[in-house]
Amino acid sequence: MAGYICDLLGSGVTRRDVLRLMGRSAVAGLAGLSFGRIAGASVHRPSDMPNIIFILSDNCRWDCMGFMGHPFIKTPGLDRLAKEGVVFENAFNTTSLCSPSRASILTGTYAHTHGVLNNHTPWTGKLPTFMEYLKNAGYDTAFIGKWHMPGRGLPNLPYLDLFVSYTYREGQGSYFNCPLIVNGKPEPSLKPYITEEVTRRAIDFMTKTKTGGSRLNRPFFIYLSHRTAHPPFQAPDDISGMYDKDKVVLPKVVDSWFSRTNGNVYQGIMMGSYEDQYRKYCEDITAMDREIQHLLDVVERLGMTDNTVVIYMSDNGMMWGEHRCHGIKYPYEESIRVPLIVRCPWLVNKPGTSRSQMALNIDIAPTILDLAGIKIPSFMEGRSLVSVIRDANLPWRDAFLLEYWKYYPENLPSYKGVRTNRFKYVEYEKTLGPQIFDLKEDPKEYNNLYGTARGEGMLPELKRLLAELDT
């Protein structure tokens, strides 16, 4: 017991918090005798509203995790989350760009509905976020970390008990010594590395109320938004360089493009050997993973695991030379496909399994509201994933809309497209011609079927689907 208490105190929890939370856990254990049980699940469903932690990363690919078979990256925290929850192996964003994707997560709508069309379009606030509904239902609510939507400073979100973010460097922040804005007031970061700092604040919030007392009766929601893994990539000293000796295999199509740069690439603030930049990218993810593991450990030590949902997702993926491209904007799988893991002990029948149904960033808001027992607003275009989490064989959506709006100084034209379970069809505004890919036979999207006899045969149905979705 003494070791248990020391572990908690080492996580920033006070002795008084430990004693009160231990008392709460004992009461919860007795109350659990009356909880309902989901068929096949190992944990009783809570009788009241569960705690919910949503973790968002930046530019993290769906395949850049240890349990996905990556050749060298170490992600024990995400591996653990996957082992204890379910992995959506076909999760996507609907606009492969930071600000639109983040607004879609918050509102449960496509970008053409919420109005944040690119990284220069201000947050409008014309639609409520799911956090407002949580607050009205009795949750203590916190948004901690990267906001990254344009506007005059940070928006006024009165339904948040805690709003920790930054406007430094146009909202991108910095990995080290990032100046923060906490509930509208400037504050320094108490930990040098931003990933550690936002995790520390999340732990403080889930163990205390906004008034400083122990959290006994009210459920909490935490939106933990990491800077990882946005360039320039920087990891703490004990992680920096850990992959220096690991071999990085670039896509074959990079060869001719990569050779033009004489072994170097420059995009915005990222410069240097492409292989080294990729290693640094992986180091950043490992640094974030360590903090995710820390967070999960504290949830467990406080006896909250059985009553706390943890969801991990990224705003978009990232291309590393595929199709001779770098970045996040193209509608290829490496950009639009994202990691999505959900740990919900009373809902998951078989932990460590996967779901093949297509899940979207616009599904996060309705899913969280559904988990909290809150009615899903009619304006939300996403669907709750709760039924899919429960039933891996449930029939689901057949297609979704891809959309992107050109903005300066990027040179990629606007596009719209449809992605089905097997095919992808994209129409560009100008410069680039239409594309049709058979993702089953051609998962790397090398063979454009547009203009072929087979492609012409598929085109009418794909156009019909696109028109139906683009309303």
Q: What is the pLDDT of residue 83?
A: 98
Say how far apart CA 172 and CA 301 lie, in whole Å.
33
Written as one letter, the residue type at 423 is F
Give buried/exposed letters for 406-419 (b at 16+ CB in 10 A, else e): bbeeeebeebbbbb
Answer yes or no: is pLDDT of 2 > 90. Answer: no
Q: Is 186 exposed, middle or buried (0-12, 13-18, 19+ CB in 10 A)?
A: exposed
Task: State the CATH class of domain 2-412.
Answer: alpha beta
Q: What is the pLDDT of residue 261?
A: 55
CA angle, 57 then 246 then 287, to 5°:
30
Predicted confidence (pLDDT) per residue in 318-340, tens digit: 999 888 888 899 999 999 999 99
Is 203 within 8 Å of 220 (Cβ atoms)? Answer: no
What does the domain layout of the chain look like in residue ranges?
Answer: 2-412, 416-471
Please state the φ and ψ torsions of residue 243, each to the nearest 5 degrees: -110, 15
Q: What is the mean pLDDT of the chain?
A: 87
Q: What is the pLDDT of residue 41?
A: 54
Q: Which of 46-50, 128-132, 208-212 has the highest mean pLDDT?
A: 128-132
CA angle, 157 then 171 then 360, to 5°:
70
Residue corresponding to tokens 């192996």: 89
Answer yes or no: is pLDDT of 454 > 90. Answer: yes
Task: Give the three-class secondary structure for 402.
Answer: strand
Q: What is the pLDDT of residue 8?
A: 39
| 12 or 127, greater pLDDT | 127
Q: Which of 393, 309, 371 is nearest to 343 (CA)?
A: 309
Predicted confidence (pLDDT) per residue in 339-397, tens digit: 999 999 999 989 999 999 999 999 999 999 999 999 999 999 999 999 999 999 999 99
Structure tokens at 150: 């344009």
